[in-house]
């Protein structure tokens, strides 16, 4: 059995000269071994009892600390008190002692003791990190919520913005929405000239769907410029979330430029479909490209692709000599070769990458995914399934490969194989909402196992509420069960959440079968504009002879 590495340290500490009498040393070592092995066997209660016995026979404070940690892990509060008492007797000034005492107080409902210990931590330099960690470790409970609220409202937080942000994040994790908003408001008053405080306020406003207030807060943040790169990236993200990618790109353009800001500008301008600005950015980034970094060369390749300049894109990608960007460029080169009608060359490049000794496993995995995608595009589905199988022989149980293969099986009408892959994903992660939804949708769409499909989709929806694809699946399975009136609101909701051709196919069919043919035609028209080649849309139009 593998012994935890800390055991070696503890054994050495316990046997140090002058620490214990010989018989006590033997007893302590025996208890140490018992505790460590119990811990590795998944028996924290037995481990805690053994560790505390060992600690009480030792003069080594580190052993008492370990005993306290294990006792708290086991939620054995009596043992934790004994361990802490021994630790306090041996090392009353130990830095980690007070956080452990605060944790025990929280776990036992001692709000006064916890509050006193946490306030003491907040007065230490950077002690707020320990305070946040202690509160987070206690999880969602009335004690945690009450103490956190009291600390905020008593203005006990230190005069350090990172501390306020950490407590705000903790309030959000504990689902204390009002307290989180109050923290953001108080932060503005405490740090009125901090751009990050105003961006926090903008984030809160966005969660309230108050876009006007969010924009005002962002405007306030940028007036305290010049902003550093990290803050400009945050400003851009906020503006993009407000649906203004062009403004996001402009925010990144003001100030010093590096590979990160240039890449961000390119992404936002592409989203804004601003061709002239993309051209200007491309020309600016290309200046001095002789000494460009791999990241800059990769960006230039991407910009050339966006401008549909295949030749220059291949040239930029080909110049990258090493690193992650080089491996990613090899994938893009394969895509471009296929685009120019050179599928065999593209496949050869991908197989060369697959056989390489690249240090970037995710890129190697993606080479199999891309090979299969290109083969499916050219109606070579059997070969695509083989590509997935070769990838899974190397990257066993990789979720991306299994999921993609499941979709490939479904396209080939091999529903049993698709189901097997999706069930494997759920076995690997029972809370994989995408796999649950995919299996539920497949059963609803391709079999008559509707109740089973509904159960799976409802599980997925609980894990990822308001996800368009899952809401669509719910509407679709209800329709397939003959519950059309129940289905329609879900399908409308899915289409509101995301304009998607497949959702348009489903919503249009249900409207058509409900007698609302004019609206159905309108929805299908939008679907064709979004994706004229969508398989589900084509199938419903053919089936209904539209």
> What is the model's pLDDT at position 9?
46
Q: What confidence tier does 418 reach under pLDDT thresholds 50, 70, 90?
A: very high
Nearest to 104 by CA among 141, 132, 68, 140: 68
Place of tokens 């129940």: 486
Is residue 69 within 8 A of residue 94, CB to CB? The reply is no
Q: What confidence tier does 546 reach under pLDDT thresholds 50, 70, 90?
A: low
> What is the model's pLDDT at position 3?
44
Instruction: Considering only residues 245 and 174, tell me which one the structure prediction assigns the higher pLDDT.
Output: 245
The answer to whether residue 493 is domain-embedded is: no
Q: Tell me the mean pLDDT in the region 460-489.
A: 95
Domain coverage including residue 38: 1-94
* Residue 2 predicted with pLDDT over 60: no
pLDDT tens for 199-213 read 999 999 999 889 999
> What is the model's pLDDT at position 362?
95
The answer to whether residue 480 is domain-embedded is: no
pLDDT tens for 274-323 read 999 999 999 999 987 888 899 999 999 999 999 899 999 999 999 999 89
DSSP states of 330-383: HHHHHHHHHHTT-HHHHHHHHHHHHTS--S-HHHHHHHHHHHHHHHHHTT-HHH
The answer to whether residue 19 is domain-embedded is: yes
Q: Tell me the mean pLDDT in the region 325-329.
A: 96
The answer to whether residue 273 is domain-embedded is: no
> What is the model's pLDDT at position 8?
45
pLDDT tens for 56-67 read 888 889 999 999
Nearest to 103 by CA among 81, 135, 129: 135
The answer to whether residue 127 is domain-embedded is: no
Residue 356's alpha-carbon distances to 45, 235, 372, in angstroms, are 49, 41, 18
* Residue 240 predicted with pLDDT over 70: yes
Q: What confidence tier does 15 reach under pLDDT thresholds 50, 70, 90?
A: very low
> What is the model's pLDDT at position 22?
56
If DSSP codes are grouped into helix, strand and coil, which group holds residue 203?
A: helix
What's this model's pTM, rounded to 2 decimal places? 0.74
pLDDT tens for 102-152 read 999 988 988 899 999 999 999 999 999 999 999 988 776 677 888 888 898
- Count of domains observed in the chain: 1
* Residue 440 predicted with pLDDT over 90: yes
Q: In the Cβ-directed half-sphere of 77, how many Cα atoms lie within 13 Å?
A: 10
Of the chain, the percentage scoring pLDDT greater than 90 comes to 76
The answer to whether residue 451 is domain-embedded is: no
CA dihedral 143, 147, 148, 152 (to 10 degrees): 160
> What is the model's pLDDT at position 12?
45
Distance CA 223, CA 427 (A): 52
Residue 464: Cβ within 10 Å count: 15
Residue 334: Cβ within 10 Å count: 25
* Residue 10 predicted with pLDDT over 60: no
Of the chain, the percentage scoring pLDDT greater than 70 comes to 94
Sign of the CA dihedral running 355, 358, 359, 360? negative
Nearest to 460 by CA among 501, 422, 409: 422
> What is the model's pLDDT at position 18?
47
The answer to whether residue 82 is domain-embedded is: yes
**Sequence-ordered list of residues with C-beta below 8 angstroms from that of 295, at least 6 positions apart, any chain:** 259, 263, 325
The answer to whether residue 54 is domain-embedded is: yes
Six-digit token pair at 241?
């979330």
CA 325 to chain centre: 22
CA dihedral 357, 360, 363, 368 (to 10 degrees): 40
Instruction: Considering only residues 473 and 21, tell me which one the structure prediction assigns the higher pLDDT.
Output: 473
Is residue 398 within 8 A of residue 417, CB to CB? The reply is no
Q: Which of 69-73, 91-95, 367-371 has the highest mean pLDDT?
A: 367-371
């Amino acid at each position: 059995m593998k012994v935890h590495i800390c055991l070696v340290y503890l054994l050495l500490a316990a046997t140090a000269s002058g620490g214990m009498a010989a018989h006590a040393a033997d007893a302590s070592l025996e208890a140490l071994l018992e505790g460590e092995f119990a811990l590795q066997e998944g028996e924290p209660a037995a481990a805690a009892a053994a560790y505390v016995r060992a600690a009480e026979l030792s003069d080594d404070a580190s052993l008492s600390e370990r005993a306290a940690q294990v006792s708290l892990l086991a939620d054995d509060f009596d043992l934790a008190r004994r361990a802490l008492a021994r630790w306090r007797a041996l090392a009353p000034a130990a830095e980690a002692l007070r956080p452990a005492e605060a944790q025990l107080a929280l776990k036992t409902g001692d709000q006064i003791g916890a509050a006193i210990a946490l306030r003491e931590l907040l007065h230490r330099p950077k002690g707020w990190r320990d305070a946040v960690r202690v509160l987070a470790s206690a999880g969602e409970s009335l004690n945690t919520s009450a103490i956190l609220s009291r600390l905020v409202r008593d203005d006990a937080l230190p005069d350090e913005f990172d501390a306020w942000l950490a407590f705000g994040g903790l309030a959000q994790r504990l689902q204390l929405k009002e307290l989180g908003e109050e923290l953001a408001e108080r932060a503005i008053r405490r740090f009125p000239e901090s751009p990050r405080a105003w961006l926090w306020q903008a984030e809160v406003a966005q969660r309230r769907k108050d876009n006007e207030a969010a924009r005002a807060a962002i405007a306030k943040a940028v007036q305290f410029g010049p902003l550093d790169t990290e803050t400009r990236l945050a400003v851009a993200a906020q503006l993009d979330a407000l649906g203004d990618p062009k403004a996001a790109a402009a925010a990144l353009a003001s100030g010093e430029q590096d590979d990160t800001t240039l890449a961000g500008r390119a992404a936002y301008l592409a989203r804004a479909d601003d061709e002239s600005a993309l051209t200007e950015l491309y020309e600016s980034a290309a200046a001095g490209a002789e000494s460009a970094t791999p990241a800059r060369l990769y960006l230039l390749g991407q910009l050339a692709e966006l401008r549909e300049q295949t030749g220059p894109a291949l040239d930029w990608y080909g110049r990258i000599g090493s690193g992650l960007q080089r491996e990613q460029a090899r994938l893009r080169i394969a895509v471009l070769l296929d685009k120019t009608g050179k599928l065999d060359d593209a496949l050869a490049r991908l197989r060369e990458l697959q056989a390489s000794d690249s240090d970037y496993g995710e890129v190697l995995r993606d080479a199999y995914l891309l090979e299969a995608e290109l083969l499916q595009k050219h109606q070579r589905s059997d070969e695509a399934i083989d590509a997935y199988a070769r990838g899974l022989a190397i990257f066993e149980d990789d979720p991306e490969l299994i999921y993609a293969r499941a979709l490939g099986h479904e396209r080939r009408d091999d529903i049993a194989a698709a189901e097997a892959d999706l069930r494997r994903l759920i076995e690997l992660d029972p809370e994989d909402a995408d796999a649950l939804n995919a299996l539920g949708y497949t059963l609803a769409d391709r079999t008559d196992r509707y109740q089973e499909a509904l159960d799976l989709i409802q599980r997925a929806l609980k894990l990822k509420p308001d996800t368009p694809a899952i809401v669509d699946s719910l509407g679709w399975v209800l329709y397939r069960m003959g519950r059309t009136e129940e289905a329609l609101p879900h399908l409308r909701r899915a289409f509101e959440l995301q304009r998607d051709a497949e959702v348009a196919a489903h919503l249009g069919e249900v409207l058509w079968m409900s007698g609302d043919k004019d609206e159905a035609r309108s929805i299908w028209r939008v679907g064709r504009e979004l994706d004229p080649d969508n398989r589900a849309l084509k199938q419903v139009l053919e089936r209904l002879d539209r």
